[in-house]
Amino acid sequence: MIPLNRSIAATFSPPVMEARRWLAGVTFPPDRPLMNVSQAAPALPPPDDLRRAMAQAMLGDDAAHLYGPVLGNDDLRQALADDWSAFYRAPVTADHVAITQGCNQAFCAAIATLAGPGDEILLPVPWYFNHKMWLDISGIRAVPLPCDGQMMPQPDLARALIGSRTRAIVLVTPNNPTGAEYPAGLIRAFYDLACEHGLALILDETYRDFHSLASLRGEPPHDLLTDPDWGETLIQLYSFSKSYRLTGHRTGALIAAPDRMVQVEKWLDTVAICAGQAGQIGATYGLRHLGDWLAGERDEILRRRLACLHHLDRLPGWKLKSCGAYFAWIEHPFKASSADLAPQLVRESRVLALPGTMFMPGDNPDGPRHFRIAYANIDSDGIAALAERLSQFRG
């Protein structure tokens, strides 16, 4: 038999693909269609102006069909640096930016420059499962960092978990899967902790553009980039998939010190050579021309967040733990595990949601008690209907 890489063989299967298999054999009548709250990706295509810019480039620009620079097209790197500088009110240059094939690849590239087999990375739990999968595949130990009742990780607990093989702390804010928005002071405390121990702080801000507090106050979610030495500690990750509906074009970004980009470039050249041209063209157009459109998208997501807070927080027996960006993290009232209840929800309530067990270590008792609700593709009325179906579910 052909050998298997033991690390890959031991890694769990992709959760979203597993959840889709629960739909097999289930019918969805017109008066009770499927409510899919399992995946945090917009189901609509990009706006027409962005698609038109991509199409024109595909027809009229020969370079759109060729290899580009490994670290990304110069115009996109500059456009994102300009956006980052304005948003965070701190100087960021194109040399700080690498463009990747989606934000997952940005995470993988960051980890590849930091750690190897036997090293350790601190991940708050519940964690984003693809982060855990990549660490498992790489032979790197994910050290679970518990969160409090408001789904906030605590620096004092992290300090106790840091060991000689620890290489980085990962934070995702707004969080996937909980939706929790980490306060600026908490992010700063983790940054200071990482600085103190000579670790990297990897800050995944895939859902940055849907941050409710930053939007309401008109302030950036943190001030880390104002530290002149931020490049010694901070690595930021970003995705164009959610902001500009470019999910199928796999366009993300990594923001770090220029000297780290030398190492990032090695990894990216080996894995992908360069990010796809169409996605980069679309992302550049979005950054330069779609500020008002993106503000409208943000407003809509924030309306859905308010609908979740209104409807899901009133479900008898259920407990909404946190909510933000695309997500709600909710505790169910039943004795059975969410892993068993999730397929039952499909069959009985025509609701597809991911169980908390997909975001937790197997021995963590919180996983079986929770669900992640991803509401990117249901509007406020749909959220009210979802709450009604959950209220009728008997477990």
Predicted confidence band of residue 395 (pLDDT cuts 50, 70, 90) = confident
Q: 385 and 62 in contact (C-beta within 8 Å)?
A: no
254 and 126 inside one domain: yes
10-24, 99-113, 125-139, 172-186: least confidently modelled range: 10-24
Could you list the residue range(s) of the whole structural domain that residue 39 is in? 6-45+293-392
CA angle 386, 387, 393 (to 5 degrees): 90
Strand ranges (E), 209-249: 234-239
Q: What is the CATH number of the domain that holds 255?
A: 3.40.640.10
Looking at residue 172, its pLDDT comes to 98
Looking at residue 190, its pLDDT comes to 98
Mean pLDDT score, 52-60 = 97
Looking at residue 42, its pLDDT comes to 85
Mean predicted lDDT score pLDDT of the chain: 95
**Residue 182: CB atoms within 10 Å:** 25
- Tokens in use for 258? 């220029």
220 and 278 inside one domain: yes
Q: What is the pTM of this model?
A: 0.95
257 and 297 inside one domain: no
Share of the chain above pLDDT 90, in %: 93
- Is residue 341's pLDDT more than 70? yes
- Is residue 377's pLDDT more than 80? yes
Predicted confidence band of residue 215 (pLDDT cuts 50, 70, 90) = low
Looking at residue 214, its pLDDT comes to 66
Q: What is the CATH number of the domain that holds 16?
A: 3.90.1150.10
Buried b (16+ CB within 10 A) or exposed e, 44-74: eebbeebeebbeebeeeeeebeeebbbbbbe
21 and 82 inside one domain: no
- Is residue 216's pLDDT more than 70? no
Residue 1 covered by a domain: no
83 and 63 inside one domain: yes
Mean pLDDT score, 23-47 = 91
Q: 377 and 36 in contact (C-beta within 8 Å)?
A: yes
Q: Report the number of distinct structural domains present in the chain.
A: 2
